[in-house]
Amino acid sequence: MRHSLALLALCCALAAAAHALLAPRPPLLDNVPLSTAYTDRHGTPLRLALADDDGYRLPARLENISPHLIRATLAQEDRHFAWHPGVNPASLLRGAWETYVRRSRPVGGSTITMQVVRLRDGLNTRTLHGKMQQILRALALEAHYTKDQILEAYFTLAPYGGNIYGAEAAARIYFRTPARDLTPAQAQALALIPQNPTARAPLGGGSPAWEAAQRRVAPGAPLLPVYTRVDLPFAAPHFVGSVPPAPGVVRTTLDLPTQAALERVLHTYIQAHAGRGLDNAAAILVHVPTAEVRALIGAADFADPAIAGQVDITRARRSPGSALKPALYALALDQGLIHPATLLADTPTAFAAYRPANYDGRFIGPLPAREALVLSRNVPAIDLAGRVRRPDFYTFLQHAGAALPQPARHYGLTLAVGGAEVDMRTVARVYTMLAAGGVLRELRLTQDSDQAAPKRLLSPEAALLALQMLERPRPDAPPPFAATAARLPVYWKTGTSSGFRDAWAAGVFGPYALVVWVGHADGRRNPALLGPEAAEPLFFALVRVLEARARLEDALHPAMAATRLALVAGDWVLPGISPIAPPRAPALEILSPRPGVTYVWRASGTTGPVPLEARGRGPITWFVDNRCLGAAHGPLFWPPEPGRHVVRAVDASGGGAAQAVTVTIAP
């Protein structure tokens, strides 16, 4: 009888081994829902996202798990894991004897491999059929996978209480540390939970059963402090929401200390200007050399439904106003239409049925291209938009990644002044491209992301010169940043959308490109939403914070020195491209007022108007102190005011002339 039982056992063992070897390769972790742990560029946690089954579960790799945890887990769960074929007969017999014969407390005889099978397949191993299925499948796993692979599967699937699965998720939730950095005490405590996850999991910050188990394995040692799921970080929500999920740990490009500093400034700014109706703002900071997004704030307060705080404004399509004019000027520089000193006319002009105006309602006559860009005059920009070719501005913006859903004719020349809606990320990409010498790269959100091949959109000379044209004295900065503000050049441009719905400021300084938006998520108008008044102060507040955090050096001028740019008569030009021939002498001649004549303004109110008259082509447009008086074929009469004035005239051919006028007071 004894020989018969032994033979039967041997036959069963051989049959089980044959089944394990001949069975198809079983899945190990196929279709197991996995979480994503997002960190900043330094590895600081940003968020631990739920898997599709609403559990926290991260894939485990043995090289990323503390050896202390591996040893403690094997000691608790399966001391002979390295030697058995998936099933430990002695443990099974002991478990069956204690559970079914002696009827004492249930004793588990499952190996780690058998636990992987139960956790993966959801078997009911309390029944004989379920237990046999578990044994056969465990043997099959051992036949097709290495011990390391099976142990990694266990550390991915093991229950650590509630909806927390796997050692990596448990270490990050309970101890706020990656599994590889667990201390011996933390590892020992964590290894105790899977044996009884319902009772021992410290889900509320503590568990009597877990504390008792700690005291049993480490008498006299202090109990370990733990965190809970409520304490999980939820940083940079709009940024993290932009990063595609991937199983495991995703290291992003975000710099969390910088993000936090900019968030504080932006939030404080909005609070301080609530009385002007400013309730929302957004910002994006890009490291130019790497195209990495180092900070992204999609709204002033993610948790505030009153401002639709969960809407990521950096991805919303809004009118940029004049914020993209530097790119248009760079295109015109590259095509040889202008150089920084080229005179452009800011005069009342009709482009077919389109009669553009400026946001301040004024025209200021002829002025150098540099000033036309800095002062954001619309007529010069629209004129350039009509002259650039191969590519035109529409095609150029498409190459820069702007989503333009309508054909070019739909936007016409209004593209130059914000006639097409784009998102903040497109604006940031354009300024990063200019600072990178005309090379466009996709913005990077993760450190291991595959980037599309960079594209050259402009020559280095045109891209850098367009930015240099934006250089001007920075707004005064209060102490303690005054010295810093004077040191670092900033190349910036503001924008105001039509109807005062969006205020923009965008620019480059040091190694960074920064874009700021102020407005309302629902797009309603607000007279306070002017780029120079609403967005520019916030822009420079953020610049000052970044200056205070690290010493920043100007990168633009060194980059310009490495190009073919040349100085001609004090202005940078593109040799062989810029129109540097001496300008035609203006044919326009001002006849009245005459030079050297002083006009008298009488307090009695009987002062007569001063005739403005010139010899030139077509109607003459007149300006006094940058204020447009109008156009006329003959004399135009100007009611004078006391003081010194500059009268300027522009004719239909673009010729211009200016005359100083003095008006004195008489009784």
For residues 38 and 235, what is the distance between their CA atoms, to the nearest angstrom? 10
Name which of 588, 589, 635, 632 is nearest 610 in CA terms: 635
Task: Report helix, strand or coil for 647.
Answer: strand
539, 505 in Cβ contact below 8 A? yes
77 is catalytic: yes
Of 91, 242, 319, 322, catalytic: 322
For residues 437 and 442, what is the distance between their CA atoms, to the nearest angstrom? 15
494, 518 in Cβ contact below 8 A? no
Name which of 46, 523, 534, 644 is nearest 272 in CA terms: 534
Of 77, 152, 371, 613, catalytic: 77
Phi, psi (degrees; rounded to nearest 5) at 45: -60, 140
653 is catalytic: no
646, 660 in Cβ contact below 8 A? yes
Contacts 24+ apart (CB under 8 A), 229-232: 229/56, 229/162, 229/164, 229/173, 229/203, 231/176, 232/47, 232/48, 232/173
Residues ≥6 apart with Cβ < 8 Å to 76: 191, 192, 194, 195
State the CB neighbour count (10 A cutoff) for residue 478. Answer: 8
The letter for the amino acid at 644 is R
In the chain, the N- to C-terminal Cα span, in Å, equals: 140
Helical packing angle, 2-22 and 128-144, nearest 10°? 60
For residues 298 and 309, what is the distance between their CA atoms, to the nearest angstrom? 8
- Residue-wise DSSP of 181-241: G--HHHHHHHHTGGGSHHHH--TTS--HHHHHHHHHHSTTPPPPP---GGG--B-SHHHHH
**Could you give the residue numbers annotated as active site?**
77, 322
